[in-house]
């Protein structure tokens, strides 16, 4: 596999362009070469020295937990590191002072194929800030770990009032796109001249998933340790919008979930009756070391993917959550606290993109019907994916 970074390092003219520019770099721990060399180490070995570093959610070094604001700090060789995930929505975008003196902005972030994962939106906000000031952007693209197969697209586009940092633009939940494709689409949608964006990397084949290159999967954030995590995440992240533990504080985040009051055996039994493809829910117990229900023994299930090709993560977790609500209406609750800088809408609605799923579940809709009604994508979602991919080919 040749990522955008690998191709850059083997392209003399682009390397010369970087050496001649005052360039900034937005990256994280998964920004590595094919032999696992971190991007800064690879840059330094070729006399490429950024004037400024930027880090997305979790920080440039990837240490911070979810939704924890990260401060600015000095980086390697004294290069300043600017955080693009602070305590306000405004902190997500580079400021004019952040970009002062920057002649080229380089982005290398590994996305995981779900609209909730914030790195792609950090990239778009950085692009927009640069374009406003006439600063060109160079995106070192990487394949989507879940593949680019349109048949695997799941979930609906967000309603306009549910756009947020877990989905700044209307795209399906599991979108089958790369960060570079989304940046190229945004450039075209905004009427930005082509010269202000270059995407290096791709195209990759439809079935080029992380399963084919799982030996090269590097954790892009603290609770995304493996490809198995990424595979379930388009559904598993929905648990963040509830009072269930999504397995943070354990060794299998998003694959394990539950609560002290949940009947895991009943949930596994009722989910099995729905017979969704490529997946089994196994009853189990766990004890989170931090985050929700820290220190308490939780009953729940582990989601085991038995067939990657037929597994539908969004449908699976919608069905599971509907069954939890049905079995435990006195305990189950949707999250009311502020979520990703939004405090006037339900977190679950921001994740699903509308209030429809939550209201249907509260009205008594069971797992099979919830999954069948809200998980499959429609012509609208597929049209958006095709338009984004077409924009990338034109870039």
What are the chain's domains?
4-217+382-394 (3.40.50.12170), 227-374 (3.90.1150.140)
| Cα separation, 186 vs 15, whole angstroms | 26
H runs (alpha helix) in the chain: 4-9, 12-19, 39-45, 119-132, 179-189, 227-236, 264-274, 313-327, 347-352, 356-362, 367-374, 379-394
Interval 123-145 mean pLDDT: 97
Instruction: Supply the pLDDT for residue 392.
Output: 79
Give percent of the chain with pLDDT exceeding 90.
88
Q: Would the pLDDT of 203 be above 90? A: no
Which residues are CB-contacts of 106 (< 8 A; sequence separation ≥ 6)? 18, 23, 24, 25, 26, 27, 50, 137, 138, 140
Interval 249-269 mean pLDDT: 98
pTM of the model: 0.95
The helix/strand/coil state of 108 is: strand
> How far from each other are the two terminal CA atoms of the chain, in whole angstroms?
22
| Confidence class for position 205, pLDDT limits 50, 70, 90 | confident
Instruction: Supply the pLDDT for residue 317.
Output: 98
List phi, psi (to 5°) of 275: 60, 50
Interval 107-131 mean pLDDT: 97
Pick the more confident residue, 370 or 60. 370
HSE-CB of 393 using CA atoms within 13 angstroms: 7
In this structure, how many other beta carbons lie within 10 angstroms of the beta carbon of residue 47? Answer: 9
Q: Would the pLDDT of 212 be above 90? A: no
Sheet containing strand 73-74, strands side by side: 73-74, 80-83, 52-55, 23-27, 104-108, 137-140, 197-200
| Confidence class for position 230, pLDDT limits 50, 70, 90 | very high
Pick the more confident residue, 367 or 148. 367
The helix/strand/coil state of 103 is: coil
Instruction: Supply the pLDDT for residue 67.
Output: 77
Cβ–Cβ < 8 Å for 158, 356: no
Interval 125-138 mean pLDDT: 98
DSSP summary character for residue 157:
P
Residue with tokens 């648990």: 239
| Cα separation, 303 vs 221, whole angstroms | 20
Region of poorest pLDDT, from 72-76, 87-91, 313-317? 72-76
Pick the more confident residue, 70 or 207. 70
Which residues are CB-contacts of 382 (< 8 A; sequence separation ≥ 6)? 150, 153
| Confidence class for position 65, pLDDT limits 50, 70, 90 | confident
What Rg do the C-alpha atoms of the chain give, in angstroms? 21
Closest CA to 299 of 280, 277, 324: 324
The helix/strand/coil state of 239 is: helix
């Amino acid at each position: 596999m040749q990522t955008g970074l690998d191709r850059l390092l083997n392209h003399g003219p682009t390397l010369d362009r970087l050496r001649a520019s005052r360039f900034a770099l937005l990256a994280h721990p998964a920004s590595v070469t094919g032999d696992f060399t971190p991007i800064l180490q690879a840059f330094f070995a070729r006399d490429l020295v950024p004037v400024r570093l930027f880090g997305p959610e979790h920080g440039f070094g990837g240490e911070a937990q979810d939704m924890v604001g990260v401060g600015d700090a000095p980086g390697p060789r004294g290069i300043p590191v600017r955080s693009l995930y602070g305590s306000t929505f405004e902190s997500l975008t580079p400021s004019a002072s952040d970009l002062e003196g920057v002649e080229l902005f380089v982005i290398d972030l590994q996305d995981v194929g779900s609209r909730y994962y914030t790195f792609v939106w950090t990239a778009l906000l950085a692009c927009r800030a640069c374009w406003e000031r006439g600063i060109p952007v160079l995106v070192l693209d990487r394949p989507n770990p879940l593949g680019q197969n349109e048949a695997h697209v799941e979930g609906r586009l967000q309603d306009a009032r549910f756009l947020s940092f877990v989905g700044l633009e209307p795209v399906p939940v599991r979108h089958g796109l790369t960060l570079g494709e989304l940046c190229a689409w945004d450039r075209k949608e905004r009427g930005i001249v082509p010269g202000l964006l270059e995407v290096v990397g791709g195209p990759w084949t439809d079935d080029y998933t992380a399963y084919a290159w799982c030996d090269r999967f590097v954790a892009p954030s603290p609770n995304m340790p493996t490809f198995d995590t990424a595979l379930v995440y388009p559904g598993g992240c929905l648990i963040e919008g509830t009072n269930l533990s999504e397995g943070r504080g354990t060794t299998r985040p998003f694959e394990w979930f539950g609560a002290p009051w949940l009947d895991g055996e009943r949930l596994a039994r009722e989910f099995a009756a729905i017979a969704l493809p490529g997946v089994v829910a196994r009853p189990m117990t766990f004890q989170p070391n931090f985050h929700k229900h820290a220190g308490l023994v939780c009953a729940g299930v582990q989601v085991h993917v038995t067939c990657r090709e037929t597994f539908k993560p969004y449908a699976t977790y919608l069905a599971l959550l509907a069954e939890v609500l049905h079995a435990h209406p006195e305990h189950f609750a949707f999250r009311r606290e502020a979520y990703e800088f939004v405090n006037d809408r339900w977190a679950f609605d921001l994740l699903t993109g509308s209030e429809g799923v939550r209201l249907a579940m509260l009205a008594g809709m069971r797992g099979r019907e919830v999954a069948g009604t809200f998980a499959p994508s429609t012509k609208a979602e597929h049209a958006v994916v095709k338009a984004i991919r077409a924009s990338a080919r034109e870039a």
